[in-house]
Amino acid sequence: MKIAELVQKIKSGETTARAQVEQALQKARSTEEYHALLSLTEERALKRANEIDAQIKSGADVGVLAGVPFVVKDNYLAFGAPTTAASKMLENFDAPLQATVVEKLEAAGAICVGKSNLDAFAHGGSTENSAFGVTHNAVDKTKVAGGSSGGSAVATALDVVPFALGTDTGGSIRQPASFNGVYGFKPTYGLSSRYGVVAMASSTDTMGCFARSADDVALVTSVMAGRDPRDMTTLPDYFEIQPDAPKNLKIGIISEAMTNDVDAEVRAVVNAYADDLRAAGHTVETVNMPSIKYALAIYYIVVPAEISSNLARYDGVRYGHRAAGAKTLAELYGRSRSEGFVTENKRRIMIGSYVLSSGFFDAYYLQAQKARTVLIGEFNKLFEQYDFLLLPTAPTPAFGIGENTGDPVKMYLADVMTVPPSLAGLPAISVPAGVNSAGLPIGVQLVGAMKSDANLIALAGLMEARDEQ
């Protein structure tokens, strides 16, 4: 059932907000073995459900998401449970405020029922780097959930909630969406506010969602979108749900993303999706993007640099974990950070500090930013000729838990398809498009020009509707 239908049933009295929240909480408890959620906000959620039911009875306008339960990735500040970012550093942090997008969703009647697991501070692509345990794939519990928003993807795939929030810096919504067979949307940079979300890399962090249909993605995004005076990077609200997808589109398949380095079954699913697009009346052609092969290297210079800067605030003094028994300020800093951060956090801090150091800034960080500009230029040139681009969401289906943990480079390669749109600030959606021979989900990725979010989702919705016929 789509979210709009569920809301109509709640408003008509066929069901209630409380019943939906109770059902979501029960599902959350019955799927605990997947470790998708770190905490439940039961008391607050039930209270809000009762309030919404009362408002409906009184005839009040309760919003387009009235009574719909959802979960948030646990790097969103939200009331009712600690905001941990899946780290020991913030294990007992109670947020003094809520993220702007959480406030917007609640104002529209949605009800947060829990906080989902992630790679600590969103550093990772498998949700194996959580300080509180691994999240398991929704289809095969021996496989990773993807990351860093793995918990939200799994909660959506298991139908715990109709939608869930994630953050996407280099693929952290799209890749787990692909691995678990749901829709995952990364909007244009600035479409939704970053205020009240634990920062990872400020130039690429975006707030997006998971859902089981394109229509649900569009509805949730329409609520999340818009200017926030507390986040100077937000754009004026340009998002308008498109009831129909544009016709006669021109779509390019990036050839450099379809090499033999990509799993053969993944390539087959992408090619089949391209054929479906052609059958729907669109033109699909192969295009070249030479600089895309440098995107991952650019990302793992620029993003660790920003991580190093953003994580400097966790020093054991102002908030967060403080080491016990430290005798000097230097010891307090060192031990608090050593105890509070997981290995991947430390690795990225060290990389970032290195590329920002006086002897290497020009050689690495500055060069990476110049290469990023070239990449953006190639995207812009392609969008002069094509409406959207098509490529795999990930080079493989979900891999085994523990398979890549000893090889950081191999782990980083899981982001090779999602990083390029992130560096350019472009909207991108992972669409469930098939399964491999082992039954593992495979997603395809559609990418649009800046501010083409609504049409991008509408195209995904058109293809979904054709599949259902």
Contact in structure between 125 and 173 (CB atoms under 8 Å):
no
Active-site annotation holder among 87, 116, 149, 172: 172
Sheet of strand 37-40: strand arrangement = 37-40, 111-116, 69-73, 163-168, 206-211, 183-186, 428-435, 441-448, 388-392, 250-254, 283-287
**71 CB-near residues (< 8 Å, 6+ apart):** 37, 112, 113, 114, 115, 116, 151, 152, 155, 160, 161, 164, 165
- Find the angle CA(380)-CA(381)-CA(385) to the nearest 5 degrees: 110
Told to judge if 73 belongs to the known catalytic residues of this protein, a careful annotator would answer yes
Q: Is 140 helix (H, G, I), strand (E, B) or coil?
A: coil
Torsions phi, psi for 183 (to 5 deg): -80, 140
Q: Is 435 helix (H, G, I), strand (E, B) or coil?
A: strand
Distance of CA 347 to the CA centre of its chain: 22
Q: Which residues pair with 253 in a beta bridge?
A: 286, 390
Token readout for 246 is: 């544009």
Identify whether the C-beta of residue 390 lies closer than 8 Å to the C-beta of residue 456: no
- Catalytic pick among 116, 126, 130, 148: 148
Paired residues of 286 in beta bridges: 253
β partners of residue 430 = 184, 445
- Neighbour count for residue 71 (Cβ, 10 Å): 31
What does the alpha-carbon distance between residue 10 and residue 66 come to, in Å, rounded to a whole number? 7
CA triple 385-369-166, angle to 5 deg: 75
Dihedral sign, Cα of residue 402, residue 26, residue 149, residue 337: negative
- Preceding amide of 422 cis, omega within 30: no
Measured in Å, how far apart are the chain's first and last C-alpha atoms? 16
- Catalytic one among 73, 104, 143, 186? 73
User: For the chain, what's the residue count?
Assistant: 469
148 a catalytic residue: yes
Please give the C-alpha separations between residue 394 and each of 219, 258, 411, 412, 441, in angstroms, as whole numbers. 26, 11, 12, 11, 11
Alpha-carbon radius of gyration of the chain? 21
**Which DSSP letter does residue 214 get?**
H
| Catalytic (active-site) positions | 73, 148, 172
